[in-house]
A and B are shown apart, each in its own frame.
Chain A
Amino acid sequence: MNTVKGKQTSARSKWLNLLSALRRDQSLYLLALPGILFFLVFKYIPMWGIIIAFQDYSPFRGIQGSEWVGLQHFTELFANPDFALLFRNTLAISLLNLILFFPFPILISLGLNELRSVAYKRLIQTIIYMPHFLSWVIIAGLTLLLFAKGTGLINELFTLWGWPRVDILTNPDSFWVMVTLQAMWKEAGWGTIVFLAAMASVDTQLYEAARMDGAGRLRQIWHITLPAIRSVIIVLLILRLGDIMEVGFEQIFLMYNGAVSEVAEVFDTYVYRTGIEQGDFSYSTAVGLFKSVIGLVLVVVANRVVKRMGQEGVY
């Protein structure tokens, strides 16, 4: 009896604590309310649509009237002979991104941080931010203009110099590297913003002290700048891992062509083809869901690992 009562009172006191905490910080909670509502209305409620992945969804019958098929679409996906191909391509492009693209903005930021002239630094920053604002359609068009085998500018120049023409757009061997470099060209500059902000917050006294001790530029970077932005790097890396199954639909879709199909078909383009073009809504939702689950698992695991290593994770 006593224990039950004790539990009740502790439960009650928890409620009371919560209430008083709510009352105390009511302004803060009120300010958070619109944000919470936003996520509920625009993110969580629409998520119910995911259940069509377990149905044979027919637009005419709606979610209520459609037939339940359990995990049929998932087994279909795993049994599909193209599954291994999709998985390999998605992973390959993502990993290349991680290895080549991810460190690149850090290197640029380190370089920019060392610049003495503020005006010059600003100018460079503005220039390298620019490509971020171009849409992929424009960038795909530019790539075609520059690298097309027949009429591309680069190839015209090569011919002029007596070099052989290179095939970049329809070459399965170079496709992965090409899309990675393309993404770097577009987004690397924009990616420096966070790192530069983190570097700006480093106490200048540290550098002065290091200089007094005779540390050169590289030493300063290694012992002061890099440790200062370490937590930012880790957070971004974890978030990037969550996107490992996303390789940027627009870019791949625009660069896709028949000659590179076996290296260019990724989950995103597959979902587009089956879902939007063929109207196989349930199946494509299942593929999308599978992709998201992998991303979620990776984020959670990476976060655990990082925390165990004594660093700060994303949550």
Chain B
Amino acid sequence: MQKVGKRNTRSLTWIISIVLVLSVVLSACGNKEEGQANGSNGNADYPLEVSIMTITPSAVPAADDNVIKRAIEKATNSKMNIQWVSNNIYGDKLNLTLASGDIPDLIMINDPFGSTFTKMVKQGAFWDVTPYIKDYPNLSNGIPDIAWETTKAADGNNYGIPRPRPVTGDSFFIIRKDWLDKLNLQVPETTDELFEVMKAFVEQDPDGNGAKDTTALAAYISPDDLGWGGNLGPVLGAIESSFIGTNSSWKWDESQGKLIYRELLPEVRESLQYLTKAYSSGMMPEDLLSLKLTQARELFKRNQAGIIVDKTGTMRKIYADDLKKVDPSFKYTDFYPLTNLNGYNPKGAGYNGILAIPASVPEEKMKRILKLLDTWMNPEVFEIQQFGIEGTHYEVVDGKKVTNTEKLTADNASDFNHIVNVIDLPWDTTGETDEETQANELFKKVEAERDKTSVADLSAGLQSETGQKVLSELNKKIQDLKAKIILGREPIEAWDTFVESLRNDPNVQAMSDEMTEAYKKRNGQ
């Protein structure tokens, strides 16, 4: 070290400094790639370059060179840059993306009535697609009217293309039929009968292991579920909704001629008393508040709970195959969906999120994006994500496509449903085994039965400005208080006091008036 002269040290210092300065500067502006490539090609026959952000339920999303993606791109003459976001964090990620102002060309808005999106729509940040839809037959005919109707913004226009979902098959109670049979019980049809079933599930050892270690409802209460089903989460919310007869946050009162806020209804009090009794009798997990969705599902999968609230389509993927490992005698048909409870079952809103196009996208390109979605909905294109590619994912045997489910899942085929989904396909009940086919036939039958009595959310798509401001805090307060009452920390009288204060709250009154007005306006009164 001594030998190095002063000059050398100095030039060494220079070099080090320059390298460090450069590294700081370069890392600061590292995030500016592309941006140029987009928008350069409005029409022409070049493949449409489009950036997309949507949800994925898969732990590992489809890669950029995914075979199915490549095939869809080829069929639609596009080049997609898809940002897959896990469904656990989609709401947060969406808000951050909207706040950044750097919005993808096609973005999935999971709640078209969320405050950030609604505000931006008012400022003109997204394309009003209403006038263009009629030019695209698949968009106008392939997506049911109810979906277009319920996703309309306050001004009556559509600021996005709804992702259609069947109105049948909304989440509802699913019960262990084998447990019912073992205990000689009927499928419950009222909340009182359900209570008896739950009691038996707790006390009469339905899993037959000689220990009193089962509970009834795989329930939980989490802040993630604020804003719907009485803020109680899917399971307990479904019970409350069965008491009321709707999952809506509003109920029409004919005598007063106005919409009544759900929490003010006497049925909510009744259901709270019911749930308090159920909790103290061990019919739901003791750690109701500490559990999250996945842990509650675990209870059902581990043979420790007999009732869940979910869609029947989740049977194999989420529950049944895991449960079979613990209880080999469990059959797919034991995953038994209830038709009605107190004569009620919920009707879906017909959509799950919308696809919006930011106003910064030029009109020509916006049209091409609509065209892309339209083409994608053509049967021959949609089949790519349904069946995959011949030879790789399916073989044609006797004119029928026989798919390799494992290979399709491995290639994330169903993830593309989170961009485009076609729903009016006839339901093919054929499963991989006879057992699965029987289960599918059962589900199909139950859904047809449900369809006769299902109740839609009458306030879907209605908006109140006051509600936008006060609801998030209010929802949280409601959830906290209900949770405390169910746990026995607060008496039911605390609820009465709260309801009384709600009744006198000017914000709640304003919200009711605005909702009533919007409701009447939509019904042409």
Q: What is the distance, in angstroms, from A46's C-beta to the closest C-beta of chain B? A: 10
B23 proximity list for chain A (CB < 8 A): 34
A58 proximity list for chain B (CB < 8 A): 119-120, 123
CB within 8 Å for A41 and B28 given contacts A58-B120, A256-B223: yes
Q: What is the distance, in angstroms, from A159's C-beta to the closest C-beta of chain B? A: 12
A273 proximity list for chain B (CB < 8 A): 472, 476
Give Cα distance in the complex from A25 to B407, angstroms: 66
Contact A144 B101 (CB under 8 A): no
Contact A277 B472 (CB under 8 A): yes
Q: What is the distance, in angstroms, from A138's C-beta to the closest C-beta of chain B? A: 14
B221 proximity list for chain A (CB < 8 A): 257-258
Tell me the nearest residue of chain B to A35, going by C-beta.
Answer: B20
Contact B290 A31 (CB under 8 A): no
Contact A281 B99 (CB under 8 A): yes
Give Cα distance in the complex from A31 to B286, angstroms: 60
Give Cα distance in the complex from A169 to B119, angstroms: 38
Contact A277 B480 (CB under 8 A): no
Q: Which of B90-98, B321-329, B448-456 contacts A (4 or more CB under 8 A)?
A: B90-98
Give Cα distance in the complex from A41 to B502, angstroms: 49
Q: Which of A145-153, A209-217, A232-240, A294-302 contacts B (4 or more CB under 8 A)?
A: A145-153
Tell me the nearest residue of chain A to B99, going by C-beta.
Answer: A59
B116 at the interface (CB under 8 A from A): yes
What number of A residues sit within 8 Å (CB to CB) of B?
36
B13 at the interface (CB under 8 A from A): yes
Contact B480 A261 (CB under 8 A): yes
A120 at the interface (CB under 8 A from B): no
A200 at the interface (CB under 8 A from B): no
Give Cα distance in the complex from A170 to B285, angstroms: 13
A30 at the interface (CB under 8 A from B): yes
A71 proximity list for chain B (CB < 8 A): none
B92 proximity list for chain A (CB < 8 A): 276-277
Contact A258 B17 (CB under 8 A): no
Tell me the nearest residue of chain B to A141, going by C-beta.
Answer: B295
A18 at the interface (CB under 8 A from B): no
Q: What is the distance, in angstroms, from B292's C-beta to the closest C-beta of chain A? A: 10
Tell me the nearest residue of chain A to B12, going by C-beta.
Answer: A27
Give Cα distance in the complex from A27 to B479, angstroms: 62
Within 238-261 of A, Cβ neighbours of B (below 8 Å) are at 256-259, 261
B381 at the interface (CB under 8 A from A): no
Contact B116 A279 (CB under 8 A): yes
Tell me the nearest residue of chain A to B20, going by C-beta.
Answer: A34
CB within 8 Å for A258 and B483 given contacts A144-B290, A277-B92: yes
Contact B114 A30 (CB under 8 A): no
Contact B98 A30 (CB under 8 A): no
B125 proximity list for chain A (CB < 8 A): 59-60
Contact A149 B14 (CB under 8 A): no
Give Cα distance in the complex from A30 to B287, angstroms: 59
Contact B223 A30 (CB under 8 A): no
Within 32-63 of A, Cβ neighbours of B (below 8 Å) are at 33-34, 37-38, 41-42, 58-62
CB within 8 Å for A59 and B98 given contacts A148-B290, A261-B480: yes
What does DSSP make chain B's interface, helix, strand, loop or mixed? helix
Contact A149 B100 (CB under 8 A): no
Tell me the nearest residue of chain A to B92, going by C-beta.
Answer: A276
Contact B290 A169 (CB under 8 A): yes
Within 429-486 of B, Cβ neighbours of A (below 8 Å) are at 472-473, 476, 479-480, 482-484
Contact A277 B289 (CB under 8 A): no
C-beta contact mask, A275-311 vs B, less than 8 Å → 1, else 0? 0111111000000000000000000000000000000
Contact B472 A31 (CB under 8 A): no
A281 proximity list for chain B (CB < 8 A): 99
Residue from B17, B116, B287 in contact with A31 in the complex, judged by beta carbons closer than 8 Å: B17
B10 at the interface (CB under 8 A from A): yes
A41 proximity list for chain B (CB < 8 A): 24-25, 28
Give Cα distance in the complex from A148 to B289, angstroms: 10
Residue from B16, B25, B120 in contact with A60 in the complex, judged by beta carbons closer than 8 Å: B120
B100 proximity list for chain A (CB < 8 A): 59
A170 proximity list for chain B (CB < 8 A): 287, 289-290, 487
CB within 8 Å for A148 and B287 given contacts A27-B10, A27-B13: yes
Residue from A82, A151, A279 in contact with B99 in the complex, judged by beta carbons closer than 8 Å: A279
Contact B289 A42 (CB under 8 A): no
Contact A31 B99 (CB under 8 A): no
Residue from B16, B124, B289 in contact with A258 in the complex, judged by beta carbons closer than 8 Å: B289
Residue from A34, A149, A277 in contact with B91 in the complex, judged by beta carbons closer than 8 Å: A277
Within 1-44 of B, Cβ neighbours of A (below 8 Å) are at 9-10, 13-14, 16-17, 20-21, 23-25, 28
Contact A31 B21 (CB under 8 A): no
Tell me the nearest residue of chain B to A272, going by C-beta.
Answer: B92
CB within 8 Å for A150 and B287 given contacts A31-B17, A41-B28: yes
CB within 8 Å for A258 and B479 given contacts A58-B119, A60-B125, A277-B95: yes
Tell me the nearest residue of chain A to B292, going by C-beta.
Answer: A144
Tell me the nearest residue of chain A to B477, going by C-beta.
Answer: A261
Give Cα distance in the complex from A277 to B92, angstroms: 6
C-beta contact mask, B484-519 vs A, less than 8 Å → 1, else 0? 100101000000000000000000000000000000
Contact A37 B24 (CB under 8 A): yes
B280 at the interface (CB under 8 A from A): no
Contact A278 B25 (CB under 8 A): no
B116 proximity list for chain A (CB < 8 A): 59, 278-279
A82 proximity list for chain B (CB < 8 A): 473
CB within 8 Å for A257 and B123 given contacts A27-B10, A33-B21, A279-B95: no
CB within 8 Å for A276 and B95 given contacts A31-B17, A34-B24, A259-B483: yes
B24 proximity list for chain A (CB < 8 A): 34, 37-38, 41
Tell me the nearest residue of chain A to B19, going by C-beta.
Answer: A34
Q: What is the distance, in angstroms, from B40's C-beta to the closest C-beta of chain A? A: 23
A256 proximity list for chain B (CB < 8 A): 223
Residue from B10, B115, B289, B476 in contact with A259 in the complex, judged by beta carbons closer than 8 Å: B289
Contact A31 B289 (CB under 8 A): no
Q: What is the distance, in angstroms, from A276's C-beta to the closest C-beta of chain B? A: 5
Within 367-418 of B, Cβ neighbours of A (below 8 Å) are at none
Q: What is the distance, in angstroms, from A28's C-beta to the closest C-beta of chain B? A: 9
Give Cα distance in the complex from A27 to B8, angstroms: 12
CB within 8 Å for A150 and B99 given contacts A60-B123, A170-B487, A277-B92: no
Residue from A30, A61, A150, A279 in contact with B285 in the complex, judged by beta carbons closer than 8 Å: A150
Tell me the nearest residue of chain A to B17, going by C-beta.
Answer: A30
B290 proximity list for chain A (CB < 8 A): 144, 148, 169-170, 257
Contact A257 B289 (CB under 8 A): yes
Give Cα distance in the complex from A37 to B27, angstroms: 12
Give Cα distance in the complex from A41 to B22, angstroms: 12
Give Cα distance in the complex from A192 to B44, angstroms: 66
B28 proximity list for chain A (CB < 8 A): 41-42
Tell me the A residues contacting B by CB distance below 8 Å. 27, 30-31, 33-34, 37-38, 41-42, 58-62, 82, 144, 148-152, 169-170, 256-259, 261-262, 273, 276-281
Task: Give 9 pairs: A residue, B residue, CB < 8 Å, sorted on A.
Answer: A31-B13, A59-B120, A152-B287, A170-B289, A170-B487, A259-B484, A259-B489, A277-B472, A278-B116
Q: 8 smallest A-B Cβ distances: which pairs?
A: A150-B286, A279-B116, A34-B20, A258-B483, A60-B125, A257-B289, A30-B17, A27-B13
Given contacts A31-B17, A59-B116, A259-B289, 15 further A-B contacts (CB under 8 A): A27-B9, A31-B16, A34-B17, A41-B28, A58-B120, A60-B124, A148-B286, A148-B290, A149-B286, A256-B223, A259-B483, A273-B476, A279-B95, A279-B114, A279-B115
